[in-house]
Amino acid sequence: MAIHGIFERQSKIINGKKIVVVMPAYNAEQTISHTYNDLPMDVVDDVVLVDDASHDETVAIAEKLGIRHIIIHDDNKGYGGNQKSCYQKALDLDADIVIMVHPDYQYTPKLVRAMAALIAEDIFDCVLGSRILGTGALKGGMPLYKYIANRGLTLIENLLTGYKLSEYHTGYRAFSKNLLQSLPLHHNSDDFIFDNQMLLQIIFYNFSIGEVTCPTRYMDEASSIGGMRVIKYGLGVLQESVLYRLNKMGIIKRRLYQN
């Protein structure tokens, strides 16, 4: 009984909350070990990896690392489709706090403890690891054109939503259980615009959002969208922001904002 109590305290060290890290993976064989080994496992209860039909050894390496919960998509469902599987599995594991960590090692996993604490203490419902706060983005290697685009899109989104975030485009995110259960994520895109739609839903449903400064590293091994997909994403962000505003004004009604 005493031993069980010790393990219980260790596994739920932040305000009695169960913390699950989810990793949406695609061809991450070169970076997944670095990412996993940097996780603060003294506060993480479970890790879920969803492999989106990778063509490399991502799954085999994840198994060697001892990741217990691995979901394999037979067909590539897209970045948004991957996240849907991640969050559903985390909720099935009865997570209180879910933190998405990209296995490409672009974002430092060492912030998991801080991000989880901000939710565990009921300060925020969602916490973002921002590359823009401070001076980490360009120093970490973010291309100048991406930095400028990030700042421009974020300015427009803040104006249209009436909110104020340093960036809407980070992939490092933590969520409370209540938030994930409340959002109609099944209506969202399976593509990269999923991230943006989810943040707009969070704002629409009046969940609180906090941000922490996140050092990042841009490497050849890190995943990144480029070419026409960048343009498509940018146009999608603008479209979603305008549609959010129209929905908020009652001019249109979108499924994204209907449970």
| Rg from Cα positions in the chain | 18
Alpha helices for 93-176 (secondary structure H): 112-120, 136-139, 144-161
Confidence of residue 219 (pLDDT cuts 50, 70, 90): low
pLDDT of residue 133: 87
61 DSSP 8-state letter? H
Measured in degrees and rounded to the nearest 5, phi and psi for residue 199 equal -65, -40
d(CA 32, CA 105) in angstroms, rounded, equals 7
Percent of the chain with pLDDT over 70: 89
Domain range summary for the chain, segments of one domain joined by +? 14-144+167-223
pLDDT at 5: 43
pLDDT band, very low/low/confident/very high, at 220 (cuts 50, 70, 90): low
Q: Quick one: how far is CA 100 from the chain centroid?
A: 4
Q: Please write the tens of the pLDDT for every residue from 180-195.
A: 999 999 999 999 999 9
Mean pLDDT computed over 144-163: 93
- Give the model confidence (pLDDT) of 45-80 as tens digits: 999 999 999 999 999 999 999 999 999 999 999 999
- Residues of the chain above pLDDT 90, percent: 80
More confident residue, 168 or 219: 168
Answer yes or no: CATH 3.30.1240.10 is held by domain 14-144+167-223.
no
Lookup result for tokens 């996780």: 39
pTM: 0.91
For residue 6, pLDDT beyond 80: no
